[in-house]
Amino acid sequence: MTSYGGRKSIGAVVRQLCLAFAMLGALTTGASRAAQPPKAPVVLAAASLQPAFEEIGRLWSARGHRAPVFSFAASSALARQVEAGAPADLFVSADEDWADHLERRGLVMPRSRVVLLGNRLALVAAPNDRRKLAVRPGFRLAAQLGKSRLAIADPDAVPAGKYAKAALVSLKAWDGVAGKLAPAENVRAALAMVERGLAPLGIVYATDAKSSAKVRLVGLFPAGSHPPIRYPIVTLSSSRNQQAEAFRRFLMSRTARAVFVRYGFSVPQGQSGG
């Protein structure tokens, strides 16, 4: 179609209108994306970290950030979720083995791994249970249990259970209790058994014992009776969330360190995230 009297053809007008709408749509989409708040970091963390991490999450939110999304479970279960493609940014294990496991499979961002925390292993009982038992080589744990069972995280898979088994083997108490176990899916579940009176004694982390008013600390296991309890934190290679790195640094900050120490964790010297 041609143009008459200096007027544009209908086709030209249509083309200009389409171009204008396209530019407006692009600008609107760009503005909409710019207005969207940053995504919340998704953190898979060992069950024993729950009370401390939830408090630190609240401190992070109070600074104007979106609240982190936590998933707490046994480190073994969380690592398998990562292998299965679970959408997450950070993984905090209760032992080095499961972080190694993910690194070998290329699921960890290079140079992101840091030892965040340390812990101790504790023997606990219900508050009204007055039994006394020194945790040392040859201690009579089996005799104290009698026909009842020992609450423990699954020693075949869960870090807390593996540490507990190593400690009992070292103290020559494993053979007597191996047939008297009440294995749990994670250390917090083992703690709950003792809290609810389902087991008279349990082996948990020292931080679990400290955080619960429903159990009594019987004793700490000697540090040399089991491998050092370390919590590595890694960024997962699938993460594209800038807030995840900011939250990782916050977990290593002086603010977070103070929370961890109050809950009974040890923090590596010289660690700082600003």
- Tell me, yes or no, whether 100 and 127 share the same domain: no
Residue 37 lies in a domain: no
* Runs of H (alpha helix) within 107-236: 141-145, 159-170, 174-177, 187-195, 206-211
- Tell me, yes or no, whether 85 and 140 share the same domain: no
The per-residue pLDDT for 269 is 77
**Number of structural domains the chain divides into:** 2
Strand partners, 91: 44, 234
Render pLDDT for 195-215 as a digit per residue (tens, 0 to 9): 999 999 999 999 999 999 999
- Tell me, yes or no, whether 130 and 190 share the same domain: yes
| Nearest C-alpha neighbor of 259 from the set 212, 183, 207 | 207
Q: What does the pLDDT average to over 149-155?
A: 98
Over 70: is that where the pLDDT of 150 sits?
A: yes
d(CA 189, CA 74): 10
Please state the separation of Cα 71 from the chain's center in Å: 7
Angle in degrees, CA 158, 160, 165, rounded to 5 = 95
Over 90: is that where the pLDDT of 219 sits?
A: yes
- Tell me, yes or no, whether 114 and 130 share the same domain: no
- Going through the chain in order, the beta strands assigned E by DSSP cover 42-46, 69-73, 90-92, 114-119, 121-125, 150-153, 181-184, 201-205, 216-220, 229-235
- Tell me, yes or no, whether 100 and 191 share the same domain: no
Over 60: is that where the pLDDT of 16 sits?
A: no
Residue 167 lies in a domain: yes
The per-residue pLDDT for 108 is 98
Residue 28 lies in a domain: no
- Tell me, yes or no, whether 245 and 212 share the same domain: no
Strand partners, 216: 125
Query: Residue type for 247, please?
Result: F
Structural domain for 105, as ranges? 42-118+230-262
Residue 46 lies in a domain: yes
Please state the pTM of the whole predicted model: 0.83
Using the 8-state DSSP alphabet, how is residue 197 labeled? T
The per-residue pLDDT for 132 is 85
- Per-residue burial over 173-205, b if 16 or more Cβ lie within 10 Å, else e, is bbeebeebbbbbbbbbbbbbbbbeeebbbbbbb
Q: Locate 252 and state its tokens.
A: 């290593």
Residue 99 lies in a domain: yes
- Tell me, yes or no, whether 66 and 153 share the same domain: no
- Tell me, yes or no, whether 204 and 258 share the same domain: no
Question: Is the Cβ–Cβ distance between 44 and 81 less than 8 Å?
Answer: yes
Residue 132 lies in a domain: yes
Given 3-state DSSP classes, what are the helix, strand and coil percentages for the chain, each rounded to the nearest 5?
45, 20, 40
Q: Return the percentage of the chain with pLDDT > 70, whole number.
A: 85
Residue 98 lies in a domain: yes
- Tell me, yes or no, whether 74 and 145 share the same domain: no
Render pLDDT for 239-272 as a digit per residue (tens, 0 to 9): 999 999 999 999 999 999 999 999 999 999 766 5
- Tell me, yes or no, whether 46 and 110 share the same domain: yes
- Tell me, yes or no, whether 173 and 136 share the same domain: yes
Q: What does the pLDDT average to over 154-158?
A: 96
The CATH number for 132's domain is: 3.40.190.10
Residue 194 lies in a domain: yes
Q: What does the pLDDT average to over 136-159?
A: 96
- Tell me, yes or no, whether 102 and 131 share the same domain: no
3-state SS record for 59-90: HHHHCCCCCCEEEEECHHHHHHHHHCCCCCCE
